[in-house]
């Protein structure tokens, strides 16, 4: 696939162009082999857009968020961030960044992790955890008449906790993460993410480890933040219905590659790719149980060490043809802004 971006949005803030990420296997017996976590991934994120990345475990969606967050270097391709100073309005953030540049990048791009239990340091109080971003990024705001930095910081922390529904805030500051419920911890995570007012938030299945009863309130809270602060969101999930609720557009990934991109309504209601149809038909509807017209496929998600030749979905696809196992299908636009990777 050429290094093209796939978007209908006028103003973009982030572009991934042909990005691949291969993890070497650290085993003497498998020397030289790699895990193809992402291959030739191209998409762009619009300003104040919510874009959902959907797929099963092992589809490469978390790796995609992690390389954007600069947790790992990419193997090939380009990640570019909007920069008004750059000649064409974008600068590359694909290579290794200096400490200062990385700090600046993290100010603009923040991640919410899936695990509300593991992502907060258990030895620190909530006050310490939430103060760090303000101190590191020098965001403590002094107001006229206020003399002490500590007072100003505490006031900002109170406001922050109120904004995520943790009230009264003074009750939470001295607590340790283990004293909070899963939902309260994820609220603290979200508060920490938004404390430095990022432009892009990468939310990696932020509700998947929470009780169903509180998922909706967390999703609505993220949407309210996104709207108030006009933040761009990359929302990662395996749940197509949740993706549709949150996002304007959906990117469907399978075995490290993009299979379909389109507006949420297009992808959910008029899915074209057989894998998207499988995801849709596998979702149980509460009133009818598992759907009778479920798409029947065989096999499991393939090995990413030796991914199938040709279309990565062909060993499971009920419509596979001879050519499907020979060459990787290119991403093609079937109608304005709706792209699929399939020979059908
Ligand atoms: Fe199925 Fe072939 Fe399309 Fe792949 S390219 S999804 S195997 S029909």
Judge whether residue 181 has pLDDT over 70: yes
Closest CA to 36 of 90, 5, 76: 76
Q: Is the CB of 90 under 6 A from ligand 1?
A: no
**Residue 147: pLDDT band with limits 50, 70, 90:** low
- Pick the atom of ligand 1 nearest to 320's CA: 7
Mean pLDDT comparison of 26-40, 49-63, 130-144, highest-scoring range:
49-63
Mean pLDDT comparison of 111-125, 211-225, 254-268, 278-292, highest-scoring range:
254-268
Contact 218, 205 (CB under 8 A): no
Judge whether residue 115 has pLDDT over 50: yes
**Residue 284: pLDDT band with limits 50, 70, 90:** low
Distance (angstroms) between ligand 1 centre and the Cα of 296 equals 14
Closest CA to 103 of 133, 148, 127: 133
- Pick the atom of ligand 1 nearest to 324's CA: 2
Distance (angstroms) between ligand 1 centre and the Cα of 299 equals 15
**Residue 142: pLDDT band with limits 50, 70, 90:** low
- Choose which residue among 259, 308, 341, 344 to substitute to test ligand 1 binding: the one with the highest number of ligand atoms within 8 A of its C-beta: 344
The helix/strand/coil state of 52 is strand
Q: Is the CB of 274 under 6 A from ligand 1?
A: yes
Cis amide linkage into residue 168, ω under 30° from 0:
yes
Residue nearest to atom 7 of ligand 1 (CA): 314
Distance (angstroms) between ligand 1 centre and the Cα of 293 equals 20
Let me know if 223 is exposed, middle or buried by CB neighbors in 10 A (0-12, 13-18, 19+): middle
- Pick the atom of ligand 1 nearest to 325's CA: 7
Q: Is the CB of 252 under 6 A from ligand 1?
A: no
Report the distance separating Cα 139 and Cα 105, nearest Å.
15
Q: Is the CB of 320 under 6 A from ligand 1?
A: yes
Of all helices (H) and strands (E), which one includes residue 149?
A: helix 149-163
Q: Is the CB of 329 under 6 A from ligand 1?
A: yes
Q: Is the CB of 259 under 6 A from ligand 1?
A: no
Convert the pLDDT of each residue in 32-61 to its tens digit. 788 999 999 999 999 999 999 999 888 999
Contact 300, 56 (CB under 8 A): no
Report the distance separating Cα 247 and Cα 293, nearest Å.
26
- Pick the atom of ligand 1 nearest to 317's CA: 1
Q: Which residue has the higher pLDDT, 217 or 262?
A: 262
- Pick the atom of ligand 1 nearest to 314's CA: 7
Q: Is the CB of 255 under 6 A from ligand 1?
A: no
- Pick the atom of ligand 1 nearest to 275's CA: 6
Residue nearest to atom 5 of ligand 1 (CA): 342
**Residue 299: pLDDT band with limits 50, 70, 90:** low
pLDDT at 4: 44
pLDDT at 109: 94
Q: Is the CB of 314 under 6 A from ligand 1?
A: yes
Q: Is the CB of 225 under 6 A from ligand 1?
A: no
Contact 257, 6 (CB under 8 A): no
Q: Is the CB of 328 under 6 A from ligand 1?
A: no
pLDDT at 95: 80
Convert the pLDDT of each residue in 206-222 to its tens digit. 887 777 778 888 888 88
Convert the pLDDT of each residue in 183-200 to its tens digit. 899 899 999 998 888 999
């Amino acid at each position: 696939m050429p290094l093209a971006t796939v978007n209908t949005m006028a103003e973009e803030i982030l572009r991934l162009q042909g990005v691949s990420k291969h993890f070497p296997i650290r085993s003497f017996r498998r020397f030289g082999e790699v895990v193809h976590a992402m291959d030739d991934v191209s998409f762009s994120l619009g300003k104040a857009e919510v874009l959902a990345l959907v797929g099963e475990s092992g589809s490469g969606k978390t790796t995609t968020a992690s390389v954007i967050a600069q947790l790992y270097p990419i193997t090939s391709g380009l990640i570019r961030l909007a920069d008004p100073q750059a000649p064409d309005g974008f600068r590359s953030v694909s290579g290794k960044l200096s400490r200062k540049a990385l700090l600046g990048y993290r100010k603009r791009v923040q991640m919410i992790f899936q695990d509300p239990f593991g992502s907060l340091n258990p030895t620190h109080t909530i006050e310490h955890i939430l103060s760090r971003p303000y101190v590191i990024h020098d965001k403590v705001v002094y107001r006229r008449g206020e003399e002490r930095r500590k007072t100003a910081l505490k006031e900002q922390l109170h406001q922050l906790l109120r904004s995520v529904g943790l009230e009264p805030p003074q009750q939470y500051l001295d607590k340790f993460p283990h004293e909070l419920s899963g939902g309260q911890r994820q609220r603290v995570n979200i508060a920490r993410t938004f404390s430095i007012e990022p432009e892009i938030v990468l939310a990696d299945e932020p509700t998947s480890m929470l009780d169903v009863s509180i998922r909706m309130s967390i999703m609505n809270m993220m949407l309210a933040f996104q709207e108030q602060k006009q933040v761009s969101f990359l929302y990662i999930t395996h749940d197509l219905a949740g993706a549709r609720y949150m996002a304007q557009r959906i990117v469907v990934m399978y075995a490290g590659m993009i299979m379909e991109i389109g507006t949420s309504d297009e992808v959910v209601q008029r899915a074209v790719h057989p894998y998207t149809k499988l995801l849709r038909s596998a979702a149980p509807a509460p009133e009818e149980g598992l759907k009778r017209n479920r798409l029947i496929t065989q096999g499991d998600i393939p090995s990413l060490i030796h991914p199938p030749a040709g279309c990565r979905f062909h060993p499971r696809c009920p419509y596979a043809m001879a050519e499907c196992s020979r060459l990787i299908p290119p991403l093609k636009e079937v109608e304005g802004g709706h792209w699929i990777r399939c020979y059908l």
